[in-house]
């Protein structure tokens, strides 16, 4: 067997190289990803390496010796044997043709399967799922689906949606009985104050719950005034606190409320001092559920940095904002996988209280695959 390795930027191009050089009878022996080039391992490019083989044509079989001359038979019997031999040869040719056709169809299915899986992998990466996560998802499809379904578009897509949804943990921070205290934290400009207002309006106006607002964002006077206007419109109380002791006292005063929402100032993930101040404010004895608010428009590398640095404030779950400002949603999957934290809400605009929704794994999966 002739064996050769092919290296390309993706699986699709590698398969094309194999078919172009070895033809339709080539067999894929192995595929793997590796990094190529770069200087001392830096700036290396991820490529796909495919090992293919081409079976050698078998040597011609020696012709069997001529059979001994048949004994003289009656004329009618000889004609019958000749006709039977002719029919037998025709049957052999038909069987050989069917076998060859089945072989070609199997090869076509093989290449169609690799093409379909490569297309889905590329779609995930185009929607900003990391290459590592995309490959992991496609490998799970290969594991879960029977081989005969791997070249069926609908079967592969539905399986991939189910796998993505299963990997996205979602919780409702307001589930359960008793008072709920929710604090929103995060970097500047992600929409924490607007998100607080949406939640307050949703639960006060639409679900008729008793709600109180507390803001610890004293860095921006405009933010306090903005929240004060929302509080007046919704008709809920608002308190301003400067430190953890004041927050504890405010929470005690609103012990009769169903829901207390705490707004905080935007903090840079690069400032240990600011993050420590935030942690000190949010450390009274009462149990506070802390939600880290992130904008989906933030670069992937920065999101990973933010989620790692904000672990200082012991956040419990994630909120993603500004879904209306992008068409690539794979970032949500990457961050949930990287942090191990569940998703709670997503926001889709500036309208209060309309543009906020509880996260639904199946919907997020469809967004990631470009189905919505």
CATH assignment at residue 335: 3.40.50.300
342-367: pLDDT as tens digits? 999 999 988 887 889 999 999 999 99
Does the residue 325 lie in any domain?
Answer: yes
Instruction: Judge if 49 and 111 occupy the same domain.
Output: no
Instruction: Judge if 214 and 346 occupy the same domain.
Output: yes
Cα 325 to Cα 143: distance, rounded to the nearest angstrom: 35
Contacting residues for 319 by C-beta, under 8 A, at least 6 apart = 184, 195, 291, 292, 293, 294, 343, 344, 345, 346, 347
Contacting residues for 322 by C-beta, under 8 A, at least 6 apart = 190, 191, 295, 296, 297, 347
pLDDT at res. 318? 97
Does the residue 357 lie in any domain?
Answer: yes
**Mean pLDDT over each residue of the chain, to the nearest integer:** 82
Q: How far apart are the first and last CA of the chain?
A: 47
Percent of the chain beyond pLDDT 70?
77
Residue 158 φ then ψ, to 5°: -65, -40
Instruction: Judge if 280 and 350 occupy the same domain.
Output: yes
- Per-residue burial over 96-120, b if 16 or more Cβ lie within 10 Å, else e, is eeeeeeeeeeebeebbebbebbbeb
Instruction: Judge if 193 and 162 occupy the same domain.
Output: no
Does the residue 87 lie in any domain?
Answer: no
Instruction: Judge if 130 and 263 occupy the same domain.
Output: no
Instruction: Judge if 334 and 359 occupy the same domain.
Output: yes
Does the residue 301 lie in any domain?
Answer: yes
Instruction: Judge if 189 and 142 occupy the same domain.
Output: no
Band (pLDDT 50/70/90 cuts) for residue 322 is: very high
Please say which residue of 120, 145, 167 terminates a domain: 167
Instruction: Judge if 331 and 198 occupy the same domain.
Output: yes
Instruction: Judge if 155 and 206 occupy the same domain.
Output: no
Across the beta sheet with 356-358, the strand order is 238-240, 211-215, 259-263, 180-185, 289-295, 317-321, 343-347, 356-358
Range of the domain at 23: 1-57
162-177: pLDDT as tens digits? 999 999 999 988 777 7
80-113: pLDDT as tens digits? 666 666 656 655 555 555 444 444 444 445 545 6
Are the C-beta atoms of residues 314 and 275 closer than 8 Å to each other?
A: no
pLDDT at res. 39? 37
Are the C-beta atoms of residues 33 and 135 closer than 8 Å to each other?
A: yes
Cα 163 to Cα 144: distance, rounded to the nearest angstrom: 9
Does the residue 64 lie in any domain?
Answer: no
Q: Give how far Cα 11 sits from Cα of 52, 78, 214, 331, 368, Å.
A: 13, 60, 54, 23, 21
pLDDT at res. 154? 93
Band (pLDDT 50/70/90 cuts) for residue 43 is: very low
Q: Residue 124 class from Cβ within 10 Å (0-12 exposed, 13-18 middle, 19+ buried)? A: buried
Residue 225 has pLDDT above 80, yes or no: yes
Residue 30 has pLDDT above 80, yes or no: no
Distance of CA 356 to the CA centre of its chain: 21
Angle, CA 4 vertex, CA 151 and CA 48 arms, to 5°: 55
Residue whose entry in the numeric block shows the structure tokens 């933030």? 298
Does the residue 84 lie in any domain?
Answer: no
Residue 252 has pLDDT above 80, yes or no: yes
Does the residue 49 lie in any domain?
Answer: yes
Total of domains in the chain: 3
For the whole prediction, is pTM greater than 0.75? no
Instruction: Judge if 51 and 198 occupy the same domain.
Output: no
Q: Residue 153 class from Cβ within 10 Å (0-12 exposed, 13-18 middle, 19+ buried)? A: exposed
Q: Tell whether omega for the bond before 353 is within 30 degrees of 0, i.e. cis.
A: yes
300-319: pLDDT as tens digits? 999 999 999 999 989 999 99
pLDDT at res. 173? 80
Instruction: Judge if 216 and 306 occupy the same domain.
Output: yes
Instruction: Judge if 247 and 319 occupy the same domain.
Output: yes
Enter the DSSP assignment of 58: P
Cα 120 to Cα 271: distance, rounded to the nearest angstrom: 40
Does the residue 293 lie in any domain?
Answer: yes
């Amino acid at each position: 067997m002739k064996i050769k390795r092919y290296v390309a930027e993706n699986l699709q191009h590698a398969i094309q190289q194999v078919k172009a050089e070895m033809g339709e009878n080539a067999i894929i022996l192995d595929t793997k990803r590796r990094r190529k080039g770069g200087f001392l391992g830096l700036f290396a490019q991820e490529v796909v390496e495919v090992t293919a083989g081409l079976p050698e044509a078998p040597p011609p079989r020696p012709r069997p010796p001529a059979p001994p001359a048949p004994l003289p038979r009656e004329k009618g019997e000889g004609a019958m044997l000749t006709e039977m031999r002719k029919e037998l040869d025709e049957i052999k040719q038909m069987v050989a043709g069917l076998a060859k056709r089945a072989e070609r169809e199997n090869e076509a299915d093989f290449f169609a399967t690799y093409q379909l899986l490569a297309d889905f992998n590329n779609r995930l990466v185009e929607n900003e799922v990391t290459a590592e996560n995309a490959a992991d998802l496609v490998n799970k499809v290969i594991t879960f689906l029977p081989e005969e379904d791997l070249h069926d578009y609908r079967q592969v897509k539905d399986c991939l949606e189910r796998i993505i949804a299963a990997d996205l943990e979602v919780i409702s921070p307001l589930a359960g009985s008793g008072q709920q205290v929710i604090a929103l934290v995060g970097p500047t400009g992600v929409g924490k104050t607007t998100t607080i207002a949406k939640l307050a309006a949703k639960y006060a106006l639409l679900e008729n719950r008793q709600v109180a607002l507390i803001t610890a964002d004293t860095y921006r006077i405009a933010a306090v005034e903005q929240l004060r206007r929302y509080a007046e419109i919704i008709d809920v109380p608002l308190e301003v606190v400067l430190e953890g002791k004041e927050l504890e006292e405010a929470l005690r005063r609103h012990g009769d409320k169903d829901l207390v929402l705490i707004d905080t100032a935007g903090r840079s993930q690069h400032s240990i001092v600011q993050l420590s101040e935030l942690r000190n404010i949010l450390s009274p004895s009462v149990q506070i559920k802390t939600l880290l608010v992130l904008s989906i428009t933030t670069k992937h590398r920065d999101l990973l940095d933010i989620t790692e640095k904000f672990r200082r404030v012991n956040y419990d779950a994630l909120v993603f904002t500004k879904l209306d400002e992008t068409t690539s949603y794979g970032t949500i999957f990457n961050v949930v996988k990287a942090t191990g934290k569940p998703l709670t809400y997503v926001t889709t605009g500036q309208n209060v209280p309309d543009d906020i929704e509880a996260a639904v794994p199946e919907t997020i999966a469809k967004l990631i695959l470009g189905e919505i």
